[in-house]
Structure 1
Amino acid sequence: RNIRKRWFLAALFITSLVYFVYKTNFRRESVRKDTSFKLVQNAQRVEVFLRTLKWQPRGNPWNSSSYNPLKQCRNSLQGKDWIVDDNGCVCKRDSLRDNGCCDVTAPATKWQTCASCRATNCCVVYEHCVSCCLQPKHRALLEKANNDVINPQIMMSSIHDQYELCLMKCRTSSLSVRHENTYRDPTYKYCFGMLPAEFCSV
């Protein structure tokens, strides 16, 4: 009777073990498939987003036959000293025209400038970051950077063109942050590329 009881307990233990291993592997496989599906879904969303995004045209807008001097511009608004408009012009706040565009005849106005930016595409001045980011040559870089977006739905709901994308990238890039509230380099802290800001030696 004792032997039979032991055999029964052993069989019960083995059955329970097999069931546990099966359930664990099944759960792991389900999580893996779900993660893979979400990654594919996100990649597809980003691809559609990049295809429909309005990219900055090549060439100086003032030399274009379609240039309209009465056109309304969007601009970065919050800059204390500098403003960047959606043509990629950076100007002094007092050089902003009534239509929201920078006055291109003002001496300090620069178009698609990277004046305070490093090769890492991290800049001292936020408006320079946005202006530099708007250079058409940076389209491929922005496309690569956006393939790593975790939640493209949030991004797609608020961004419709390269200007809005650059405003967001320069304001919220994780590449410039070391910890939650600490910049890797407190001087070159506005980034839009894929290389992190260099650590500043104190």
Structure 2
Amino acid sequence: MTKYHFSIQLLILFQLSSIISAIRKDIGFQQIRSCRNTVQGRYLLSDDNGHVCDALSVDPQSRCCPENGSRFSCQGCNLVSQCCNSYEFCVSCCLHPSRTQEAQVLRVKISKPSTAVSYTSVFDFCAGRCRHNSESVVHENAYLSDFHHCFSLPSNSSGANYTQLEARLGGINVVIGKQGESCDSACKSYGQSCVLNKLLVLNQCDM
């Protein structure tokens, strides 16, 4: 074998090695994105990343909403009362780390103390809390207002304190009525109007 042929073989071997190396560097496994979502509304849903989308836009494989929309949206929510007029936006708003502290919600009990278990994630808390909230109903069969999807911590949880309750009464003038007098009557006598969804806050013993 001549020196010339040996050089050609080395060159071909080097080129093949470079091609194989380049191919191996390009090969990789993309991480499969997966989401949990509310799967409740007829038209909208919220995923555990805080995105809201319509049912037709959700990815059928990952079950995630498109990321081109706003995240942690509080559309239709009252940030003082922490209540919303839409279940899906309640969940999205609740998922914002500045509004819901993971360390607090993981201590919240789901049911009565004797059979209680804790939430396993912030998404579980938000999805469950926004769906049914005893503090947003009156007489156990009617909502206090259209803003009945609430994500505030339960009043008997360790995370709820006087400061939070005081914030929920921001802008409200408290008047004292006579025994048996309705909220409307008591407020009208002072030239005010009754705000029904604040009565449960006022009637808490820890105030």
TM-score (norm 1): 0.54
Partner residue in 2 for 1:154: 116
Q: Which has the higher helix share?
A: 1
- 2-side partners of 1:141 and 1:184: how far apart? 28
1:189 matched to 2:148? The reply is yes
- The higher relative CO (CA closer than 8 Å, separation ≥ 6) is in 1
Secondary structure, aligned partner of 1:91: strand
- TM-score between both structures, scaled by the size of structure 2: 0.53
Aligned partner of residue 90 in structure 2, secondary structure: helix
Q: For the structure 1 residues 72 and 170, does the alpha-carbon distance in structure 2 shift closer, same or farther, using more than 3 Å as the test?
A: same
Pair 1:134–1:153, CA change in 2 (3 A) = farther
- Kindly indicate whether the alpha-carbon contact (under 8 Å) linking 2:109 and 2:117 is maintained by their aligned counterparts in 1: no
**Counterpart check, 1:129 vs 2:99:** no
SS in 1 for 2:56: helix
Shift of 1:70: 2.9
Q: Judging changes above 3 Å, is the alpha-carbon distance between structure 1 residues 141 and 182 closer, same or farther for their aligned structure 2 residues?
A: farther
Question: What pairs up with 1:1-202 in 2 under 5 angstroms?
Answer: 70-98=32-60, 99-105=62-68, 109-118=69-78, 119-140=80-101, 143=104, 146=108, 150-151=112-113, 153-156=115-118, 159-185=119-145, 187-194=146-153, 199=196
Cα 1:138–1:122 change in 2 (3 A) is same
Distance 1:72 1:148, change over 3 A: closer
- The count of aligned residue pairs is 127
Q: Is the alpha carbon distance of 1:92 and 1:191 closer, same or farther for their aligned partners in structure 2, counting shifts above 3 Å?
A: same
Report the more deviating stretch, 114-123 or 131-140.
131-140
Give the whole-Å Cα distance in 1 for the aligned partners of 2:110 and 2:131.
17
Could you list the runs of 5+ residues in structure 1 that have no partner in the other structure?
A: 1-67
Partner Cα separation in structure 2 for residue 167 and residue 103 of structure 1: 19
Task: State the alpha-carbon separation in 1 of the partners of residues 102 and 40 from structure 2.
Answer: 26
Unaligned runs of 5+ in 2: 1-29, 154-164, 170-194, 198-207
- 1:193 alignment partner AA: S
Q: Residue 82 of structure 2 contacts residue 150 of structure 2 at CA under 8 Å; is this kept in 1? A: yes
Please tell me the residue identity of whatever aligns with 2:117.
M
- Structure 2 residue aligned with 1:29: none
- Matched to 2:66, the amino acid is D
Report the CA distance shift for 1:139/1:152 in structure 2 as closer, same or farther (over 3 A).
farther
Bigger Cα Rg = 2
Q: Percent identity?
A: 31
Q: Give the RMSD, CA atoms, in angstroms.
A: 3.0
